[in-house]
A and B are shown apart, each in its own frame.
Chain A
Amino acid sequence: MASLPPIDLPAGTSGEGAFDAPVAEPSREKLFDYLLRLGDDSLILGQRLSEYCGHAPSVEVDLSLANMALDLIGQATLFLDLAGEVEGKGRDGDALAFHRDVLDFRNCWLVEQPNGDFAQTMARQWLFSTWQKSLFDRLANSRDPRIAEIAAKAVKEVAYHQDLAAEWVIRLGDGTEESRRRMVDGLDWMWRFVPELFEMDGIAAEAVRCGIGVDVAAFRDDYDRRLREVIAGAGLEPPADQRPILGGRRGHHSEHLGHLLAIMQFLPRTYPDSKW
């Protein structure tokens, strides 16, 4: 007798227990934390890229980087506004971006790393955007329609970031002797921050269990395959694995983040509620 085809279970359900068992809701605190992670990644990388405004190697590259920064800050606004709404204490995206201290930021280490030279910036962008693209592809199916909507809008922006950054990794890696050396150094600097992107802790697991978040560990192989393709296209070897650095999601950050926040938050903290 032919057997029935396997049943596709919705994300976050175990397939066990009573029929029509209610799907769990994450606690308010955990959902808030999960949204901060999403928003802070985009916010901090957007601020980093903004540092290039007027300083990029050419006016065209200046615009490319500023466009990406604006995309990211737009995503951060949506995620952090939603985080404030979930938190329910009257804070909006601006309050969360400009009036939070460094230990309360939940971004990964990769995005807070300094720009370095253009190759280092592109190495960071490529490693992050490739991850964020896969993340948002899946987040667009979140059971929370507000999150799904933001991800569906942002994924098109991020697809372009990933594409542009990969093109630069290939051109610099496969360019001159100097550009190759710089890209090798840039990848080497950023490589140790990749494992953190795939870390699953209690809050991430809870978000997955409730069908709201993404199981990042599940697309690690796919990510590694994409990386290998571009690195091969650039005529480079993948950097040697280094001791991974973790902890951004728990508020442990490199010294670089404090300096970034000092510049980003100075004005709104010194002149609260100023408008111009």
Chain B
Amino acid sequence: MSKDWPLWEVFVRAKGGMAHRHVGSVHAPDAGIALRHARDTYTRRMEGVSLWVVPSAQITASDPAEDAAMFDPAMDKIYRHPTFYDIPDDVKHI
């Protein structure tokens, strides 16, 4: 049955204020059931407070064969990292 169903990517928000994070995927016949399958599969142990599901077919991915052109040029640009600032201790999630 599940191979007849489209795949959905699942994103979970662990707690308020945090971003939704990709956790995996589920098979489901439609968005409504996908949300429930995501709930039953990925939030059984209090992992989240909010869920998104997105049809996997709607995701446009970069081509692994183009990795070098896509990502290597960033490697030697350390000045793009904000590492030259002192971050106060009580600022979280950076």
Q: Give me the interface of A with B, judged by CB distance under 8 Å.
A: 57-61, 63-64, 67, 160, 163-164, 167-168, 171
Q: Mark B19-49, 1 if CB is under 8 A from A, else 0.
A: 0000000111110110011011100100000
- Say which residue of A60, A63, A163, A164 sits within 8 Å of B28 (CB atoms): A60
Pairs A–B under 8 Å by Cβ, sample size 30 = A57-B1, A57-B2, A58-B1, A58-B2, A59-B2, A60-B2, A60-B26, A60-B27, A60-B28, A60-B40, A61-B1, A61-B2, A61-B37, A63-B37, A63-B40, A63-B41, A63-B44, A64-B36, A64-B37, A64-B40, A67-B40, A67-B44, A160-B39, A163-B36, A164-B36, A167-B32, A167-B33, A167-B36, A171-B29, A171-B33
| Whole-angstrom distance between the Cβ of B76 and the nearest chain A Cβ | 45
- Say which residue of B30, B37, B44 sits within 8 Å of A60 (CB atoms): B37
| Whole-angstrom distance between the Cβ of B2 and the nearest chain A Cβ | 3
* Cα–Cα, bound, A58→B6 (Å): 13
Count: A-B pairs, CB below 8 Å: 36
Chain B interface size band reads 10 to 19
* Cα–Cα, bound, A238→B26 (Å): 33
**Which residues does chain A contribute within 8 Å of B1, judged by CB atoms?**
57-58, 61
**Which residues does chain A contribute within 8 Å of B33, judged by CB atoms?**
167-168, 171
| Whole-angstrom distance between the Cβ of A253 and the nearest chain B Cβ | 30
The chain B residue with its CB closest to the CB of A164 is: B36
Are B27 and A58 in touch, CB under 8 angstroms?
A: yes
| Whole-angstrom distance between the Cβ of A91 and the nearest chain B Cβ | 31
* Cα–Cα, bound, A60→B33 (Å): 10
- Say which residue of B5, B32, B36 sits within 8 Å of A58 (CB atoms): B5
| Whole-angstrom distance between the Cβ of B10 and the nearest chain A Cβ | 11
* Cα–Cα, bound, A59→B37 (Å): 10
The chain A residue with its CB closest to the CB of B1 is: A57
* Cα–Cα, bound, A64→B44 (Å): 10
**Which residues does chain A contribute within 8 Å of B37, judged by CB atoms?**
60-61, 63-64
**Which residues does chain B contribute within 8 Å of A60, judged by CB atoms?**
2, 26-28, 37, 40-41
* Cα–Cα, bound, A168→B30 (Å): 11
| Whole-angstrom distance between the Cβ of B29 and the nearest chain A Cβ | 7
| Whole-angstrom distance between the Cβ of A164 and the nearest chain B Cβ | 6
**Which residues does chain A contribute within 8 Å of B32, judged by CB atoms?**
167
* Cα–Cα, bound, A160→B39 (Å): 10
